[in-house]
Every structure is written in structure tokens, then in C-alpha cells.
A and B are shown apart, each in its own frame.
Chain A
Amino acid sequence: MADVLAFVEQREGQIGGGAREVVSVAAQLASEIGGLASALVLGGPGLTSAAEGLSTAGATSVAVAEHEALSEYNPEAYLPVVVNHLRSGNFKALIFSASSLGKDLAPRVAAALDVPLGSDVTGMEVQDGVPLFTRPVYSGKAFTRFSIDADPVIVTIRPNVFPVGDYDSKIQVSKFIPDVDSETWCVRVIERKGAAGGVVDVSEAAVVVSGGRGLKDPENWRVLEELRDVIGPGTALGASRAVVDSGWRPHAEQVGQTGKTVAPKLYIAVGISGAVQHLAGMRTSQTIVAVNRDPDAPIFSMADYGIVGDLFEVLPRMTEAIKALKSED
């Protein structure tokens, strides 16, 4: 029996949507290779009840490592727990999310086990029991399809791409308390400064409202903030490189080759001309809308919908129209 392990993240004791995607991918792979999907989650005491919800994402068992020192991510704390758990079972594959935690931890696990890592995977197909993965390269200007000849196969999956399954299985939850000695750690988290409450990161948002040079001045961003606010929670602001380099917006909002790659349900590009490097960061969004006064702006070649016009006239009308729509819901 070849099982698949899904590494599930928790934040403040809660397990989010990204984690469920990972479990669903593990469940899909497990069923194709004749095994079961199991989840592993590390956190502080009391995490066990949150883990039970993973049955509907496809896990038949979940191991919960509870220890005060694991409440927040520290690579030195998490690495040995993950490696030991992996070695304790018959896992042929290990799936992480390509979240900031996953991108930090997965390479360390792979190197510790002397196996390669397939990063930021956007597709998976199984042929004759062998998983074939697809991933973007050159910031999404090309894709590779590849297999990994290793035991275990380790991948990180791009968030917001794989569907979450809807299973109806019973889940076996087992809790264990690993040995954790924080005295041995060479890395210590001193402080965590969260974004303001309720602000979702652009790479996790379902809708992104993104602004570029066409906004002309940092003060004009309120036009985008108003649109973001009516679309609802789960909407984040994005930015082009030009406005980040000018100091108008923080790097955390930058979308593109030297920023984040995002795949939201809806990407609204406002006053962004669509440089190759920006397009690379958002081209896998499900629906792209562009508002720009230049009909030849490259962004329009990638947009599903758009309006050629003055964004200072179009945006307020969009905000009103969406506000009215939402109030009818």
C-alpha cells in the first residue's frame, strides 16, 4: 500500500482553504496509486478538533503533532518532526502547499531525504501509476511536464489552482507529542507583525484589484480601495512594478516576475499597461478585466473583458454598479 502524505498548515489553530487543496491533491494521487491519503499538521495544544474537518477533503487519517513550541512555524522545529513522521509510514509522495511556509519547508525536507522537489505545480495527471506534473517556468511564459524518479516524490502545489474535493470518509485522528528541544534551534522568530486585521495577501485573495502608473498619484489609490471594499472580503490590492519602485505601494502588493504570481478568480488591472513581466505574474487568473485609456495597451490582449476609457470615470461607476449588485444578493 503506497500512501500519500499531505502537509497541512495551521495558522492560530485554524486550518484554511489552502490546506484542503493539498489534502485533495493527496487524495486524488493516493486513489490512483492504490493507497490512502493521510495528513500531518503541526501546531500548539488543542489542534486536534480542527483536524477532523479534513475528512471531507479526502484524508482518511491525520496525525496531529501538538507541542507549544510548534504553535508557530520555525523551520528548525518543523523539519525533524516532518522527516520522522514521513519515515514512520509507507509514504510514496508528500504534498505541500507552495505557500510561504511550504516554500520554506519543502526544500529542507527534500534535501534531508536526498530527493528532488517539484515546486509550484499547477497540474497533475497519473499515467500507469506514475504522476506527471505540470509547472510554469520563466514566470509562466512556458510550462514543463515532468516526472520525479524518487522515493518519496515531493511537490509543492500552487495555491488556488487545484479544486478541493468533496469526500465523505471517516477520518482517524491521532495525536502525538514530539520531542522538541528549542535550545538546539539556530533560528528564532523574534516578532511577527501581521498585516492589519482582515487584510488578505494578494497571493491568497479570490479577487485582486491591481493598479499601475495610470493612477498617476499614490493618493488616487482610494479609487481602487473603494472598489475592493464593495467586492467584499477576500479581495486584495495588487500593484505593478513601476508603482512599487516609485514607492507608491509596498512590495508585498507587487504582481509580476519580481513580485508575486497570483491566480485569483478575478483580476482587475487598472491603469496597468501590461508589461511582459507583469503579465507573467497574473496570466493564470481565471478572469481578467482591464481598464485603461490606451486601446493598444498590451494588457488588453490578455484580458477577458475590458473597458477602454478614463479609469477615473470608469472605476467609480464600477464601484456603484457592483455595490448595487451585491445589495440585491
Chain B
Amino acid sequence: MNVIICIKRVPDTETHIRVDQTGTDIDTGGVKYIISPYDEFAIEAGLRVKENMEGGEVGLLTVGNSEAQETLRSGLAMGADKATLLRADSYMDGLGIAKALAVELKDSDARLILFGVKAAGSDQQQVGPMVATLLGIPCVTEVSSFEFGEGVVTCQREIEGGIEVVEADLPAVLTITKGEYEPRYASLKGIMAAKRKPLEEREADFSHPGIHIERFSEPTTRGSGCILEDSPDAVAELVRLLREEANAL
């Protein structure tokens, strides 16, 4: 079974985000980039599909600038077989990215298309279901684990207040959340092998964004709070403050 995982290059989660000179984007100086964490769960899920079912290829796909090649190589190092970069140098919104991916995926023979549930950057949580809608195939989001049946995939979904078990006909799009698929580390052998695996680059089908970002800003810092050393009265004082000053109890 061929699987494709759509991934995104994002700033490392430790990054201290700063707004750039124009005030409309982040300052990328000195920022280390990684595969978005949820996408790593998706890659792991894809690799396990290949391992559990003989045959099939695991492909990676991303929309980004040419630096995303490095991100794809990290995924190849984990064990994916091939990768494609849809090159886009200017900003596209979620719909634009979904359309670019859909053009590429339209004629794919992949039975399973995986995404991380959201990209740890834009945090929009929309591209996966948008791609499925554009392709006219079923989509299940927030999947923590899945298994196959006859022509179907059965998924455990995390929702507020519990778990849902959902079955979808194949081919299907799944967005993967934290759960079963703790990602493997790339071995040194994997990293060396990744350099020789096929990585293609093509121009992404570009769509003008409908979303216009006017301003990027850092959050207002919360004022320094009232921190007490523990003492016989500290708890009583804290509870009083929460009730009377913060109106939180």
C-alpha cells in the first residue's frame, strides 16, 4: 500500500519568536527549523503501514521554499522512500497550500494520505481536511491510531469528552495526533541513506492568498504576579486574592 505524508517545515518549538522589521512576519534570523512535531507522528504511522504490509512506498510531500529540502531529507532519514518539494517562495494561505497539494495528489495511487493534525507554526489545523474535500475523498481528523479492514481504515479519534471509532473507505486522508505513533529517531545509517533517496523539486501551483496579514505582534507580557513564599498564612492569602482580587473562585 502506497502512503504519502504531507509535512511542513516549522521553527523548532524552543524558538523564541520575534517579529521582523516589517512587522508582518517572524524574524527568521538564527531560527532552527524542524519537521512539525505532529507531522513526525504521521511519518511514523506511514512507516509502520509499510512495515506491516509487505510492499508499498512511503512518499513525503511538502510545499515550501528550497530550504524545505533539508526537512524532507530528515523524513527520508527516518525511513521514507522518496520525497517531493512543491516550491513556493511567497506566502500562500491554507487554501492555497491545499490546492497545490491536491494538484500533485490528484493522480497519485496512494491509498492513504497522512497529515499531522496541525502545523506547529501557523496552527491552522485546516489543510488536511481541505485537501480531502478538494480531492473528493474521505477524511478523518485527530486520529490517534488506525488499522485496516477490507477496503477501509478504522480510526480512533480524539474528541472533547472521549474517543470516537470511525471507519473510512480507502483511499482516505487522515490527520494524526499524538497517540500510538511515537516517532523513531533517524539512525546514522538512515541519515546516510537519505542522501541517495529521490527528492524531486517542482514549482507549486500558486494561488493568491485571500488572507492578508496586516500585522504580526508578540503577546503582551503578563504583569509580574504576586508570588508568595509558603508560610502558615500563604494559602489563606492566595485563596483570598483569588476570590476578591481575581474573581477567579
Where the two chains meet, the residues of A that have a C-beta atom closer than 8 Å to any C-beta of B are 75-76, 79, 99-101, 103-104, 106-108, 110-112, 114-120, 132, 136-150, 186-195, 199-201, 203-204, 207, 231, 244, 251-252, 254, 257-259, 265-266, 276-277, 283, 286-290, 295, 300-310, 313-314, 317-318, 321-322, 325
A150 shortest CB reach to chain B, Å: 4
Does B229 reach chain A (CB closer than 8 Å)? yes
Does B42 reach chain A (CB closer than 8 Å)? no
Of the stretches B64-72, B73-81, B103-111, B241-249, the one at the interface is B241-249
- Partner pick for B11 among A138, A189, A199, CB 8 A cutoff: A138
Contact A190 B248 (CB under 8 A): no
Does B213 reach chain A (CB closer than 8 Å)? yes
B residues near A288, Cβ cutoff 8 Å: 222, 225
Known A138-B123, A189-B165, A201-B160; judge A322-B239 contact (CB<8 A): yes
Closest residue to A244 on the B side, CB-wise? B178
Closest residue to A259 on the B side, CB-wise? B178
A239 shortest CB reach to chain B, Å: 12
Contact A107 B130 (CB under 8 A): yes
Which 5 pairs across A and B sit closest by C-beta, in order of nearness? A309-B230, A201-B160, A107-B126, A111-B133, A186-B138
Can you list 16 A-B pairs, Cβ within 8 angstroms, ordered by A? A76-B138, A100-B142, A108-B132, A115-B210, A116-B95, A117-B94, A118-B211, A119-B126, A139-B120, A144-B215, A145-B217, A188-B166, A257-B37, A300-B225, A304-B246, A308-B229
B residues near A295, Cβ cutoff 8 Å: 227
Contact A119 B123 (CB under 8 A): yes
Knowing that A146-B214, A283-B219 touch, tell me 20 more A-B residue pairs with CB under 8 angstroms: A103-B126, A106-B126, A107-B126, A111-B95, A111-B129, A111-B130, A139-B13, A139-B120, A141-B15, A142-B218, A144-B215, A147-B212, A149-B211, A251-B158, A254-B178, A277-B14, A302-B222, A307-B228, A308-B230, A321-B239
A residues near B212, Cβ cutoff 8 Å: 146-149
Does B19 reach chain A (CB closer than 8 Å)? yes
A145 shortest CB reach to chain B, Å: 4
Question: A300 vs B220: C-alpha distance in the bound complex, in angstroms?
Answer: 16
Number of interface residues of B (CB under 8 A): 85
Contact B164 A277 (CB under 8 A): no
A residues near B223, Cβ cutoff 8 Å: 304
A residues near B242, Cβ cutoff 8 Å: 266, 287, 289, 305
Question: A101 vs B159: C-alpha distance in the bound complex, in angstroms?
Answer: 8
- Partner pick for B160 among A100, A114, A191, CB 8 A cutoff: A100
- Partner pick for B17 among A103, A116, A141, A187, CB 8 A cutoff: A141
Closest residue to B92 on the A side, CB-wise? A116
Known A116-B209, A147-B214; judge A142-B129 contact (CB<8 A): no
Contact A305 B125 (CB under 8 A): no
Contact B230 A310 (CB under 8 A): yes
